Structure 1
Amino acid sequence: YSAPSYDINRFIGGVSSSYYRELQEHKYKPLFNRALSGRYPPASTWKLATAVLGMELGLVTMDTHQEQPCTGGYYYGRVFKCWDKRGHGDISLAQAIAKSCDVYFYQLGLKIGLTRLLAGGVRLGFGDSTGIDMPGEKTPIWPASTAYFDRRYGPRGWNRSVVLSLSIGQANNSQTPLNMARFYTALATDGYAATPQVVARTPERKKLFDLSPEQLKSVQLALADVVSRGTAAGAQIQGLTIAGKTGTAQVPPEEDYAWFVGYAPADKPKIVLAIIIEEGLHGSTAAKVATKLMERYLKTKLTMNAVPTD
Structure 2
Amino acid sequence: DPNLFMQRISTDDWTALNNDPAKPMLDRVIYAAYQPGSVFKPVTGSLGFHKGIIDRNTRFSSCVGGLQVGNRFFRCWHAAGHGSMAFVDAIKHSCNVYFYDLSMRLDLDDFKGWTLKNRLAVQTGIDLPNERRGFFPSVDWYRKTYGRNVSITGHKVNLSIGQGEVMVTPLQICAFYTAIANHGNWIQPHLLKSTFGRGRLSKDQIDPIKRFKLPFSSSTMQLIHEGMFAVSNSPGGTATLVQVQGARVFSKTGSAENPMGKLTHAWYSGFIVTDQPEIVVTVFMENAGGGGSVSAPVANQIFNFFMGNYDVIKAPVTIPPQFRQPEDAADPDPSAPEGGEMTTPPIPGASSDA
TM-score by length of 1: 0.89
Distance 1:298 1:21 in 2: 40
Q: Which amino acid aligns with 1:206?
A: F
Distance 2:120 2:152 in 1: 22
1:152 maps to 2:161: no
Q: Hey, what does 1:225 align to over in structure 2?
A: 230
1:32 maps to 2:26: yes
Q: CA deviation at 1:267?
A: 6.6
Q: Spell out, residue by residue over 1:29-82, the C-alpha distance to the aligned partner (whole angstroms, 9 max, x if none).
A: 11211101111100000001011111112222233222x110101011121110
Runs of 4 or more consecutive aligned structure 1 residues displaced over 4 Å after TM superposition: none
Distance 1:187 1:266 in 2: 16
Name the CA shift for 1:47/1:293 in 2 (closer, same or farther; >3 Å): same
Q: Which amino acid aligns with 2:221?
A: L
SS at match of 2:24: coil
The 8 Å contact of residues 65 and 75 in structure 2, kept in 1 or not, is answered as yes
1:12 maps to 2:6: yes
Correspondent of 1:281 among 258, 264, 289? 289
CA RMSD, aligned part only?
A: 1.8
Q: Hey, what does 2:347 align to over in structure 1?
A: none
SS at match of 2:43: helix
5 Å-filtered alignment, 1:1-310, equals 6=1, 8-66=2-60, 68-77=61-70, 78-143=72-137, 145-200=138-193, 201=206, 203-212=209-218, 214-229=219-234, 230-254=237-261, 255-265=263-273, 268-284=276-292, 285-299=294-308
Q: Which amino acid aligns with 1:18?
A: D
Residue ranges of structure 2 left out of the alignment (5+ in a row): 194-205, 310-354
Q: Hey, what does 2:331 align to over in structure 1?
A: none
Query: Which is worse superposed, 115-124 or 33-42?
Result: 115-124
Query: Which is worse superposed, 244-253 or 263-272?
Result: 263-272
The 8 Å contact of residues 62 and 219 in structure 1, kept in 2 or not, is answered as no
Q: Spell out, residue by residue over 1:92-132, the C-alpha distance to the aligned partner (whole angstroms, 9 max, x if none).
A: 11000000000001011112232321221122222311000
SS at match of 2:46: helix
Name the CA shift for 1:242/1:209 in 2 (closer, same or farther; >3 Å): same
SS at match of 1:215: helix
Question: As a proportion of its length, which structure holds more helix?
Answer: 1
Count of residues paired in the alignment? 291
The 8 Å contact of residues 246 and 261 in structure 1, kept in 2 or not, is answered as yes
Query: Which is worse superposed, 236-245 or 221-230?
Result: 236-245
The 8 Å contact of residues 246 and 274 in structure 2, kept in 1 or not, is answered as no
Residue ranges of structure 1 left out of the alignment (5+ in a row): 1-5, 301-310
The 8 Å contact of residues 126 and 190 in structure 2, kept in 1 or not, is answered as yes
Distance 1:62 1:15 in 2: 57
Q: CA deviation at 1:152?
A: 2.0
Q: Spell out, residue by residue over 1:136-174, the C-alpha distance to the aligned partner (whole angstroms, 9 max, x if none).
A: 21111112x211112222223443321111110001101
Q: CA deviation at 1:228?
A: 1.4
Sequence identity percentage = 31
Q: Which amino acid aligns with 1:294?
A: F
Query: Which is worse superposed, 18-27 or 68-77?
Result: 18-27
Q: Which amino acid aligns with 2:42?
A: L
TM-score by length of 2: 0.78
Q: Hey, what does 1:305 align to over in structure 2?
A: none
SS at match of 2:101: helix
Q: Which amino acid aligns with 2:276?
A: K
Distance 1:27 1:294 in 2: 31
